Amino acid sequence: MGNYYSDLVPDFKKCTVKLKDIPAYQYDVSLADEYKKKKVSKAEIVELLESMLVIREFEEMILKCRTGAYEIISDYDYRGPTHLSIGQEATATGACSLLNITDYITSTHRGHGDSIAKGFHAIKRMTEAELKARCPECSNLSGEQLLEAVLEDHVYRTIAELFGKEAGYGKGRGGGMHIADFRVGHLGANAIVGGGLPISTGAAMSCRIDEDLKGRVVCCFAGDGAYSNGVVLESLNWAAQDQFTGDIARTKYGLPVIFCIVNNHFGMTGRADGEVNGVDFMARRAAGFDTENMHAEVVNGMDVMAVREAITRAKKICLEGKGPVLLELDTYRYYGHSLSDPRNEYRTREEEARWKEIDPVDTFKKRVQDAGILSAKEVKEIEDRVIARNARAARRAADAADPDPADVIKYMYTDTVCDVVPEKYQKVEVYKDLPKVKRDADGRINYRDAIKEGIMEEMLRDRRVVIYGEDVADYGNAFKLTKGLLESFGRDRVFNSPISEACICGTAVGMAMTGYRPVVELMYMDFALMASDQISNQAAKWHYMTGASTTIPMVVRCSVGGGKGYGGQHSQSLESMFAHIPGTYVVYPSNAYDAKGLIKTAIRDNNPVVFVEGQLLYNEKDVVPEEEYLIPFGQANVIREGSDVTFVVWGPAVKDALKAADILAAEGVSVEVIDPRTLVPFDWETVFASVRKTGRCVAISQCVDIGSFTGEIVAQIMANCFDHLDAPVLKIGARNGIAPQAVTLEAAFLPKSEDMVAAAKKLL
């Protein structure tokens, strides 16, 4: 599984690079002809019509709720978001009507329609046993009564989530902009514009390499506004990588993802056409990432049958291993970005009227009747059924219980870990002997190799553990930490990524949501700022926002380069920033023994973990057992016991703190040195016990002092140990500035053992 690349041969012969054509609006078949030729059945047509009506009725309910005009719940004060998708029903219904229950979707903040459609069509395909399993409270029903009850439950739980109720799909934690239903493959609507694209790409990565997931596709809905966003373009590039289908791929199988640009022509108030874009069709974006244009085409998104026809072909392409596919669904948003947006500043009534003439719901109703498939009476019966169902669901949702305020941060973290690997993932294929980590005569290995050994052990234990990032494959990462893993585990599990930090982390979220356990690498922690949205708004929040419906077991490895003269963009110790983001764990080992035990714990934990590595520690050696061991999170290490002052310190600063403790010991001062090892969760009791004993404390890190987690340590000690303190609690960090490159300046910038000695003496 080594280097499969062919040599690059320079050839500057004069030529012209030609781009392939992108077809647009190719569907020109009448519904009557489709029905006559039995390409679509009456039952399918009824299902499509009902699906669009359910979406339209739901969205109009939200509109009416704002003014109290929805009579059934006129007494209810709705305060949730109002991002309506009226006018876009054909895109959601047309796509989701062709997806299997197990296929995945991601959606947008304007994603009520997508969520309703995915659940509606999935429920329509469930067996009676599956329907009863989904709604045990309906187990006494059967046949049409059971189906109708489960459909109503779907609408009820959707409304309940918008209303912030415990019965909602996310137990009221996420609300309508983050609605998800993992039971039918809905991986979540996303309030970050474009935030769902890397997640869908990651989900497709799982489907590509997992035999049990093959045959599934991922349908990613995002608006035209998203397709000028950096992480969206990164995702298109990521999905189209040659290494997924080219000569170096072990299995030539592209990512089975369909990117649906729901082009409603407005990104909030900015108009895509003629204002914020420089192309006539958004589908042109595909030409920048794939010589096949990602099989792109432009589709009439106001025609549910045109959307179905395009999705049919897109699914076929994906299931043949030739994905990804990009479809531009040309549709229209009748209302403003939200109901606070009157929309009259940036578009005309005449424009809206022209689009409403081809309204997807009304047009389809007319075609169905004109073709003699349904009578006006039958259409009216479907409409009445949808209206009544929605009204009952709305009343139930308005009356449903609110979440208990005592549970305000319930579901912030999961307390689950992967104790037992499912049997099907225990069989791991190894193509070449694992790289051997060599120990010296005393059983010592360095910090870098300890992390590598821990990762290898977890990859041998669980086939779902994959590792990727910039330069981690053939080259073995910038610090040679992953050298040899590619040859041993193959390119499905160890591969290079584009220089796309946001997409590295975002695809990991998607893989984690779909059952994998990715370990992704950011070469320097500074680059985590490029990925901060995907770490902080995606990885950290989905367990909570879905009411614990999903877990995100992923590890983001990032190294800190401070002390090497690399300057302001390669030297920052940013762990305090991520400790401020609830939902992530933050780990920073200071020695090789801890590094191995903690990386193994991180990989097995079902929460997202930011795993920080000090580059200055990579060559530091320690005795590290070859036998299996884990180090629990939230368990500090009392490295040195003392009685006069407590040092709480982590990362490379631990070495300086121990040196300071030796200097102070020579002067008769006894220092207790505590390495918390994990900032989140933090072992407060060990620190409090020490401070109650010594009466003095200095919190130390290499983070810039202002805003550092050391300040939180000071605050907690003051709040919990005040009566035991003999002096104020001090903190030491890097200077409040930008890391300099010059040797003399960096030496002055970072905290030193002399600073720690001085602080202790000040307290004494």
**419-477, pLDDT tens digit by residue?**
999 999 999 999 999 999 999 999 999 999 999 999 999 999 999 999 999 999 999 99
Structural domain for 69, as ranges: 31-397
Distances in Å between the Cα of 499 and the Cα atoms of 368, 373, 471, 560 are 50, 53, 9, 18
370 and 225 belong to one structural domain: yes
Can the peptide bond before residue 681 be classed as cis, meaning omega within 30 degrees of 0? Answer: yes
* DSSP per position, 143-184: HHHHHHHHHHHHHHHHHHHHTT-TTSTTTTSS-GGG--BGGG
603 and 673 belong to one structural domain: no
Six-digit token string for 159:
């409304």
Q: What is the CATH number of the domain that holds 610?
A: 3.40.50.970
Phi-psi region for residue 143, left (φ > 0), alpha (ψ -120 to 50) or beta? left
Angle between helices 592-604 and 447-461 (to 10 degrees): 30
Q: How far, in whole angstroms, is CA 644 from its chain's centroid?
A: 46
Distance, CA of 141 to CA of 571 (rounded, Å): 63
Six-digit token string for 38:
């039995």
Query: Which residues are paired to 726 by β-bridges?
Result: none
Q: For the CA atoms of 61, 219, 135, 542, what is the dihedral angle to 10 degrees?
A: -90
Residue 403 located in a structural domain = no
**Which DSSP helix (H) or strand (E) runs through 556?**
strand 555-560
The sign of the CA dihedral 92, 98, 101, 102 is: negative
Residue 283 located in a structural domain = yes
Average pLDDT score over the chain: 95
- How wide is the angle at C-alpha 632 spanned by C-alphas 655 and 625, nearest 5°? 65
Six-digit token string for 305:
């049958």
What number of H helices and E strands is found in the chain?
24, 22
Is beta strand 621-623 parallel, antiparallel or unpaired with respect to 444-446?
A: antiparallel
Distance, CA of 686 to CA of 297 (rounded, Å): 61
Is beta strand 555-560 parallel, antiparallel or unpaired with respect to 517-522?
A: parallel
Distances in Å between the Cα of 190 and the Cα atoms of 1, 168, 692 are 37, 17, 46
529 and 643 belong to one structural domain: no
Asked if 587 contacts 612 with a C-beta cutoff of 8 angstroms, the reply is yes
Residue 329 DSSP SS3: strand
Phi-psi region for residue 584, left (φ > 0), alpha (ψ -120 to 50) or beta? beta
**Which of 367, 305, 357, 351 lies closest to 90, judged by CA?**
305
**Which of 189, 135, 140, 130 lies closest to 157, judged by CA?**
135
Residue 18 located in a structural domain = no
Choose one of 596, 623, 650: the last residue of a domain. Answer: 623
Active site residues: 501, 570
Residue 628 located in a structural domain = no
Q: What is the DSSP letter of 20?
A: P
Q: What is the CATH number of the domain that holds 754?
A: 3.40.50.920
Residue 13 located in a structural domain = no
Choose one of 623, 652, 687: the last residue of a domain. Answer: 623
63 and 194 belong to one structural domain: yes
605 and 644 belong to one structural domain: no
Query: Which residues are paired to 518 by β-bridges?
Result: 466
Asked if 51 contacts 120 with a C-beta cutoff of 8 angstroms, the reply is yes
**Which of 3, 106, 95, 170 lies closest to 327, judged by CA?**
95
Six-digit token string for 702:
């290499």
Query: Which residues are paired to 257 by β-bridges?
Result: 218
Asked if 518 contacts 554 with a C-beta cutoff of 8 angstroms, the reply is yes
596 and 679 belong to one structural domain: no
Choose one of 354, 381, 397: the last residue of a domain. Answer: 397
Residue keyed to tokens 């030297």: 571
Q: Determine the residue type at 593.
A: Y
**Which of 187, 191, 193, 205 lies closest to 106, judged by CA?**
187
571 and 643 belong to one structural domain: no
Give the global pTM: 0.96
Asked if 535 contacts 581 with a C-beta cutoff of 8 angstroms, the reply is yes
Residue 414 located in a structural domain = no
Distance, CA of 648 to CA of 674 (rounded, Å): 5
466 and 344 belong to one structural domain: no
For the stretch 1-25, pLDDT in tens is: 445 566 788 889 999 999 999 999 9
604 and 680 belong to one structural domain: no
- Per-position b or e across 172-181, b if 16+ CB within 10 A of its CB: bbbbbbbbbb
**Residues 6+ away with beta carbon under 8 Å from 202:** 506, 507, 508, 509, 510, 511, 512, 513, 514, 518
Is beta strand 555-560 parallel, antiparallel or unpaired with respect to 609-614?
A: parallel
User: Taking the CA of residue 488 as centre, how many other CA atoms within 13 Å lie in the half-sphere pointing to its CB?
Assistant: 19
> What is the structure's pLDDT at 5?
62
Distance, CA of 283 to CA of 24 (rounded, Å): 9
641 and 707 belong to one structural domain: yes
SS (H, E, C) 239-271: HCCHHHCCCCCCCCCCCCEEEEEEECCEECCEE
581 and 718 belong to one structural domain: no
Asked if 286 contacts 246 with a C-beta cutoff of 8 angstroms, the reply is no
Distance, CA of 131 to CA of 123 (rounded, Å): 7
What stretches in the chain show pLDDT beneath 50? 1-2
**Residues 6+ away with beta carbon under 8 Å from 538:** 190, 192, 195, 198, 199, 505, 506, 509
Residue 402 located in a structural domain = no
**Which DSSP helix (H) or strand (E) runs through 330?**
strand 325-330
Residue 458 located in a structural domain = yes
Q: What are phi and psi of 330, to 5 degrees?
A: -80, 110
Distance, CA of 729 to CA of 696 (rounded, Å): 7
> What is the structure's pLDDT at 544?
97
> What is the structure's pLDDT at 1?
45
**How many independent structural domains does the chain possess?**
3
58 and 164 belong to one structural domain: yes
Angle between helices 112-124 and 143-162 (to 10 degrees): 160
> What is the structure's pLDDT at 560?
96
**Which DSSP helix (H) or strand (E) runs through 596?**
helix 592-604
